[in-house]
């Protein structure tokens, strides 16, 4: 049970360092005196007896430090000593100490913020099913000299890609949108950002709804029946988390939309400002949906 004894000694040295150190010094001095007395009894002069005892016994200071090292608490003494020295040094120059503390605080804050951003953007995996298999597809104009050269895909191109591309397990589409939201009883209106997603978007991402269901293929058509999904934040804020809202109607741009489900609280794609989701094709007319013309987000 040597570890238990070492733990006991480390605890004693942590809280009773001076007392235990005094006991150790007393014990070392006792053994040194015993060796000196034995040398004198053997006929050696007192001065020579002390020198001989020190040669036999060793340096008492080194022996004390070696013994204290075995107690496993020497590092705490070094830390405490360094802290005391640091505080004394800073106390002599309070102006320099304040500047140093502010610089260190700014450095730690900037590093923490940068790591948080890098972790969220690059290191933390997306909260979707098989995130390493997800890809974002754009149209790119080689001769474009403005912007970044990327453009939103037209709905007709998306339809063709979905039918003719076999390199992907599935292909879904979404676009930014927006509405004026009101209730069925002349509630206070508000402008909400919206996302328009294809019927297979949420199943492709592996999103399970806590309430209701997602869009069907028949609803993801131009001029189909108006349906809407609420984000968890809007569900809690505007409708007080009442599950009976599913199946009822809200008005978006004065048009009635039936609430068919509520998205989970962790779903904030593509950004937390999106409050509602509607079917992708329902944001186009039949002519726009069949057109090859690029349709910019509303």
Write out pLDDT tens, residues 79-122: 777 888 888 887 888 888 888 889 999 999 999 988 888 776 66
pLDDT confidence of residue 75: 65
Mean pLDDT of the chain: 82
H-helix or E-strand containing 7?
helix 2-15
What's the rounded Cα separation, in Å, for the pair 93 and 157?
69
pLDDT confidence of residue 297: 40
What's the rounded Cα separation, in Å, for the pair 240 and 189?
16
Q: Does residue 272 surpass a pLDDT of 50? A: yes
Residue with the bigger pLDDT between 280 and 34: it is 280
| Average pLDDT of the residues in 219-228 | 92
pLDDT confidence of residue 262: 97
| Average pLDDT of the residues in 262-284 | 93
Ranges 4-18, 39-53, 242-256: which has the least confidence = 4-18
Burial group, residue 233, by CB count within 10 angstroms (0-12, 13-18, 19+): middle
State the first-to-last Cα distance of the chain, in angstroms, to the nearest integer. 75
- What the block records as the tokens of 64 is 């004390």
Write out pLDDT tens, residues 128-174: 888 888 888 888 777 666 666 677 788 888 888 888 888 888 999 99
């Amino acid at each position: 049970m040597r570890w238990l004894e070492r733990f006991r000694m480390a605890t004693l040295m942590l809280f009773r360092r001076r007392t235990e150190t005094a006991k150790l010094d007393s014990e070392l001095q006792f053994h040194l005196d015993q060796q000196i007395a034995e040398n004198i009894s053997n006929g050696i002069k007192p001065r020579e007896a002390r020198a001989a005892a020190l040669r036999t016994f060793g340096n008492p200071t080194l022996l004390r430090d070696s013994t204290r090292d075995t107690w496993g608490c020497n590092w705490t003494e070094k830390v405490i000593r360094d802290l005391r020295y640091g505080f004394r040094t800073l106390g002599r120059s309070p102006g320099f100490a304040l500047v140093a503390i502010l610089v260190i605080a700014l450095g730690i804050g900037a590093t923490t913020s940068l790591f948080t951003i890098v972790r969220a953007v690059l290191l933390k995996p997306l909260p979707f099913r098989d995130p390493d298999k997800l890809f974002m597809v754009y149209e790119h104009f080689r001769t474009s000299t403005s912007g970044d050269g990327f453009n939103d895909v037209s709905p007709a191109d998306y339809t063709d890609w979905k039918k003719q591309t076999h390199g992907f397990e599935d292909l879904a589409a979404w676009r930014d949108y927006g509405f004026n939201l009101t209730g069925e009883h002349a509630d206070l209106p508000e402008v909400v950002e919206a996302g328009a997603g294809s019927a297979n978007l949420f199943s492709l991402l592996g999103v399970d709804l806590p309430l209701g269901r997602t869009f069907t293929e028949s609803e993801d058509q131009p001029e189909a029946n108006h349906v809407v999904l609420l984000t968890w934040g809007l569900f809690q804020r505007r409708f007080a988390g009442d599950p009976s809202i599913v199946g009822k109607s809200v008005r978006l741009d004065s048009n009635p939309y039936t609430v068919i489900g509520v998205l989970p609280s962790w779903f904030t794609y593509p950004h937390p400002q999106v409050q509602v989701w509607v079917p992708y094709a329902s944001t186009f007319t039949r002519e726009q949906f069949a057109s090859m013309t690029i349709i910019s987000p509303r």
